[in-house]
């Protein structure tokens, strides 16, 4: 009888706390958005499912000894998973459009203002006592504006592990929402004439340039910002493997089974941070609001910088490609292309927008290095 009682006490009905129930519903919502609405499904399916698993009452999957906690410690606390993903992303990245037009790097730089403005916003909210974010928290929230999942997770794991769940969810959700968030801002900041600007066809980029470029980045990182070395180093390594053409075996595995495997476990491990205590509080609300702000400011900064560049340089630059500087590869570039086609149905901007798009990845990794150096120091 005791044992029957024990069994009853072990059920979810008996143990479930309201917070856990809500978090399970939130996990289900993420699964719905991922599967039905195609919100970054590759990450949000594992994150959502992990979130549900983490909140099963009494199962303790996200606590010490639980399998999700194990994945978290092994893969995220150590930094390994985001870095391996970044290596895979590097192996999938083509720097060709960037090399054809290196000025687009400035667009990738400008868009990072979203990160720092949001950091300042979080600091202000804390100063006015509305939230209680530390400088490290503020930096981790700001990085959502980098529009780059693995970078967000890496920075959050270093600076604010407690906020990691909310930051990752915000990061991927807003990336999925890029086609909704960006167009109004882009339209507000450009006029019809701006949007019709046609850009020159890109020059051919030789394979040798593509091989040397990741090494150039690596050297500059070594000289200027060692704190960005883990992220940019792994990124450049992946890219070099792809471009050098002598290790195609390794590059193919990196782009396929390796990144897929790590994505599954990264997602589940992030899900382990969606516990009721750390997610169901005012801070998450702040993170969601500030994250949206970060995306919007980044988009605006990119467009404004493109307009400035267009004034300065001889070669015409369509301001619509500025928004692609936030990264969110390749969706932001597609948004640029779509708005370009709306203004002039022969104005294909996709390849031109890929330049600032990958520049945005470099830019936010640089920003991540600075934040880690400054806020953790």
Among Na ion, another protein, its own copies, none, what binds residue 88 when CB lies within 5 to 8 Å by partner kind?
another protein
> Would you say 262 or 292 has its CB closer to its own copies?
262
> Would you say 148 or 194 has its CB closer to Na ion?
148
Look up tokens 């782009």; give the residue.
255
Minimum CB separation of residue 259 from its own copies in Å reads: 9
Instruction: Report if residue 7 touches its own copies, rule: CB under 8 A.
Output: yes
Near its own copies in 180-199, by CB under 8 A: none
Residues sharing a CB contact under 8 Å with residue 188, sequence separation 6 or more, in sequence order: none
Instruction: Report if residue 206 touches its own copies, rule: CB under 8 A.
Output: no
Helices (H), 75-227: 80-92, 96-100, 104-110, 113-127, 135-142, 149-159, 164-176, 178-189, 192-196, 207-224
> Would you say 89 or 189 has its CB closer to another protein?
89
Instruction: Report if residue 130 touches another protein, rule: CB under 8 A.
Output: no
Near another protein in 132-191, by CB under 8 A: 134-135, 138-139, 147-150, 172, 175-176, 178
CB 139 within 8 A of CB 371: yes
| Among 19, 41, 161, 330, contact with its own copies (rule: CB under 8 A) | 41
Minimum CB separation of residue 34 from another protein in Å reads: 10
Stretch that binds its own copies, among 98-106, 183-191, 214-222, 349-357 (CB under 8 A): 214-222
Q: How many helices (H) and strands (E) does the chain have?
A: 22, 0
| Among 3, 311, 314, 345, contact with another protein (rule: CB under 8 A) | 3
For residues 307 to 336, the per-residue mask of contacts with another protein, x marking binding by CB under 8 A and - elsewhere, is: --------------------xxxxx-xx--
Provide the phi-psi class of 65: left if phi over 0, else alpha when psi is between -120 and 50, else beta.
left
Q: How far apart are CA 371 and CA 377, in angstroms?
A: 9
Instruction: Report if residue 28 touches another protein, rule: CB under 8 A.
Output: no
Near another protein in 33-52, by CB under 8 A: 35-36, 38, 40-43
Q: How far apart are CA 368 and CA 351, in angstroms?
A: 26
Among Na ion, its own copies, another protein, none, what binds residue 365 when CB lies within 5 to 8 Å by partner kind?
none
Which residues of this protein are in contact with Na ion, per CB under 5 A? 146-148, 327, 360, 364
Instruction: Report if residue 281 touches another protein, rule: CB under 8 A.
Output: no
Minimum CB separation of residue 18 from another protein in Å reads: 22
Residue 313 DSSP code: S
Backbone φ and ψ for 353, nearest 5 degrees, come out as -75, -20
Look up tokens 């476990």; give the residue.
265
Among Na ion, another protein, its own copies, none, what binds residue 360 when CB lies within 5 to 8 Å by partner kind?
Na ion
Q: How far apart are CA 121 and CA 117, in angstroms?
A: 6
CA angle centred on 214, ends 209 and 215, rounded to 5°: 95
Q: How far apart are CA 235 and CA 116, in angstroms?
A: 23
Instruction: Report if residue 42 touches its own copies, rule: CB under 8 A.
Output: yes
CB 329 within 8 A of CB 296: no
Minimum CB separation of residue 323 from its own copies in Å reads: 26
């Amino acid at each position: 009888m005791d044992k029957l009682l024990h069994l009853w006490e072990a059920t979810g009905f008996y143990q479930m706390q309201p917070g856990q129930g809500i978090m399970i519903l939130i996990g289900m919502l993420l699964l719905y958005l991922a599967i039905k609405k195609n919100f970054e499904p590759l990450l949000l399916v594992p994150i959502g499912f992990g979130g549900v698993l983490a909140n099963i009452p009494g199962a303790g999957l996200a606590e010490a000894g639980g399998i999700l906690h194990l994945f978290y410690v092994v893969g995220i606390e150590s930094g390994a998973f985001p870095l391996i993903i970044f290596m895979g992303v590097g192996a999938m990245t083509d720097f060709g459009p960037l090399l054809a037009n290196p000025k687009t790097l400035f667009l990738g730089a400008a868009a990072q203002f979203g990160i720092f403005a949001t950091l300042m916003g979080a600091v202000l909210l804390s100063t006015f006592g509305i939230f209680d974010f530390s400088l490290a928290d503020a930096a981790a929230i700001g990085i959502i504006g980098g529009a780059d999942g693995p970078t967000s997770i890496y920075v959050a794991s270093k600076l604010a592990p407690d906020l990691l769940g909310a930051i990752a969810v915000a990061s991927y959700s807003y990336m999925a929402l890029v086609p909704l968030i960006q167009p109004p801002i882009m339209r507000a900041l450009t006029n019809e004439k701006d949007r019709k600007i046609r850009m020159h066809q890109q020059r051919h980029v030789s394979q040798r340039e593509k091989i040397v470029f990741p090494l150039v980045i690596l050297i500059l990182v070594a000289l200027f910002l060692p704190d960005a070395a883990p992220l940019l180093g792994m990124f450049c390594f992946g890219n070099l493997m792809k471009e050098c053409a002598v290790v195609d075996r390794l590059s193919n595995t990196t782009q396929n089974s390796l990144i897929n495997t790590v994505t599954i476990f990264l997602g589940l491990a992030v899900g382990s941070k969606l516990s009721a205590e750390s997610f169901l509080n005012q801070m998450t609300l702040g993170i969601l609001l500030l994250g949206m702000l970060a995306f919007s400011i980044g988009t605006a900064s990119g467009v404004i910088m493109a307009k400035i560049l267009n004034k300065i340089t001889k070669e015409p630059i369509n301001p619509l490609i500025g928004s692609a500087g936030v990264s969110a590869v390749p969706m932001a570039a597609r948004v640029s292309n779509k708005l370009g086609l709306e203004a002039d149905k022969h104005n294909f901007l996709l390849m031109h927008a890929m330049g600032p798009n990958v520049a945005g990845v470099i830019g936010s990794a640089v920003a991540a290095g600075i934040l880690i150096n400054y806020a953790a120091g």
